[in-house]
Amino acid sequence: MSTDLIGVLVLVVVFVLAALRGLNMGILALISAFLFGTVWLGHPAKEVLAGFPVDMFVVLVAVTFLFGIARTNGTVDWLVHAAVRAAGNRAAVVPWILFLLATALCATGAASPAAVAILAPIGITFAVRHRISPLYVGLMAVNGAAAGSFAPTAILGGIVNSSLAANHLKVGATALFAGTFAVNAAAAGITWLVFGRGRTLATVADEDGAADQAPPAPGVEQVATLVALVLLVTGTTVLGLDTGLFALTLAAALALVFRSTAQRATREIAWPVVLLVCGIVTYIALLQRLGVVDSLGSSIAAVGAPLLAALLICYVAGVVSAFASTTGILGALMPLAAPFLASGSIATTGTVVALASAAVVVDASPFSTNGALVVANAPEQLRSATYQGLLRWGAGVCAIAPFAVWAAFVVL
């Protein structure tokens, strides 16, 4: 049995055991990385752990701590009321506002996790207060971030265009943005149909029971927290500062000044989610380092039928991106797709739009940074349901979206 096949089968076993026994999947994934990578293949443990996503760990811990402070001292509640008032007290409009804000942030250069880190906690608090599914609001923020990610001024848009240029290929930047935006706007529409239309959480209410009362004017602590959130937006979107480290810096500053609030807010850090996501990503990184993903991509690129090769590579992009870095998978697959794109037997722009859409539309998977941020910011009593919902959503999108974008942009 080949190493590639064993590595994939081990991942399947991890999912099955976690489902049957209820143990945190991250623990099982870390153990699997050790047993498969170190014990079976003989790689040093340090090398196996090199795939641990330090940046994702810091983002999840820092953001849940910072917004834990904001929730504990009432700042998020104040922002929720302000957002509803700005929407003319039409709660149904707010998720779409989040979608557009996330699109704008990413289109102007913000990293997708940065946009979701800023908007998801506010949106989820709004959802709980107004008896709307947190899953729906979280998905709208993630879909919005994906919708703006391939603008000419966006990070992923720049990566795709530069990768193609390096292989002497050219794709219309406007067509890439319009196509990927349309896919993710459609995903947002489906999200509304499935989760947002008439869905309520009648058992969830605010702890103070004052869902309909306007909050008082913000005090000194709330003003300081609002300043910190504005700095987070400015620092990550304008100055390009690292989201996790900057959020942790701001949270630490608030904790030093407002000690009692910070002590309560530490309970908001979603450690089980951090362990789950970081464990899975560590194992996937091991598979990538062993060349499993590249081997699969190369085999697909060698398929004689260009249409079939395009479909298969879209599926690889969608499935792998659900567990790993979207930036990384696009950086790996674009060069692999270059040979049959250069042959002229298949439309370059359509194939690139399909591949990019398949890779980014799955970003709501609970094993991606964006999906994990949604789970981590859900109330503790709803966290498991939110995780299960994102898991089902991610599985459905992985199964359907690559075929749909292939049919729309490559075949048609």
Does residue 16 carry a pLDDT above 90? no
Q: Are 397 and 359 in contact (CB under 8 A)?
A: no
pLDDT digits (tens, 9 = 90+) for 339-386: 677 777 788 899 999 999 999 999 999 988 899 999 998 988 889 999
366 vs 211 pLDDT, higher one: 366
Does residue 172 carry a pLDDT above 50? yes
- Give me the mean pLDDT over the 332-337 stretch: 71
**Mutual angle of helices 369-377 and 271-289, in 10-degree steps:** 170
363 vs 238 pLDDT, higher one: 363
Q: Give the closest residue to 184 by CA, choosing from 45, 320, 53, 361.
A: 361
d(CA 274, CA 410): 38
Q: Are 323 and 280 in contact (CB under 8 A)?
A: yes
Does residue 332 carry a pLDDT above 50? yes
- Give me the mean pLDDT over the 245-270 stretch: 89
Name, of 12-26, 292-306, 322-336, the range with top average pLDDT.
Answer: 12-26
pLDDT digits (tens, 9 = 90+) for 46-95: 999 998 988 889 988 888 898 889 888 888 778 777 777 777 667 788 89
Does residue 194 carry a pLDDT above 80? yes
Helix ranges (DSSP H) in 192-239? 220-237
- Give me the mean pLDDT over the 259-286 stretch: 85
- The dihedral over CA atoms of 276, 381, 319, 349, expressed in degrees to the nearest 10, equals -120
Token pair of 57 as six digits: 């760990």
pLDDT the model gives residue 253:
95
248 vs 167 pLDDT, higher one: 248
pLDDT the model gives residue 212:
47
DSSP per-residue string spanning 176-208 = HHHHHHHHHHHHHHHHIIIIISS---TT---TT
CA geometry: angle 201, 202, 205, nearest 5 deg: 90
At residue 146 the predicted structure's pLDDT band, cuts being 50, 70 and 90, is very high
pLDDT the model gives residue 216:
60
243 vs 304 pLDDT, higher one: 243
Does residue 294 carry a pLDDT above 80? no
Token pair of 228 as six digits: 């910190």
Token pair of 289 as six digits: 């380092």
pLDDT digits (tens, 9 = 90+) for 304-320: 678 888 898 899 889 88
pTM over 0.85: no
Q: Are 265 and 16 in contact (CB under 8 A)?
A: no
Average pLDDT score over the chain: 84
pLDDT the model gives residue 217:
64
pLDDT the model gives residue 256:
93
Name, of 4-13, 134-143, 339-348, the range with top average pLDDT.
Answer: 134-143
pLDDT the model gives residue 206:
43
% of the chain beyond a pLDDT of 70: 90
Does residue 405 carry a pLDDT above 80? yes
At residue 269 the predicted structure's pLDDT band, cuts being 50, 70 and 90, is confident
Q: Are 26 and 276 in contact (CB under 8 A)?
A: yes
At residue 301 the predicted structure's pLDDT band, cuts being 50, 70 and 90, is low
- Taking phi over 0 as left and psi of -120 to 50 as alpha, with beta for the rest, 206 belongs to beta
Q: Give the closest residue to 102 by CA, choosing from 411, 363, 318.
A: 363
At residue 209 the predicted structure's pLDDT band, cuts being 50, 70 and 90, is very low
- Taking phi over 0 as left and psi of -120 to 50 as alpha, with beta for the rest, 205 belongs to beta
- Give me the mean pLDDT over the 155-165 stretch: 80
- Taking phi over 0 as left and psi of -120 to 50 as alpha, with beta for the rest, 347 belongs to beta
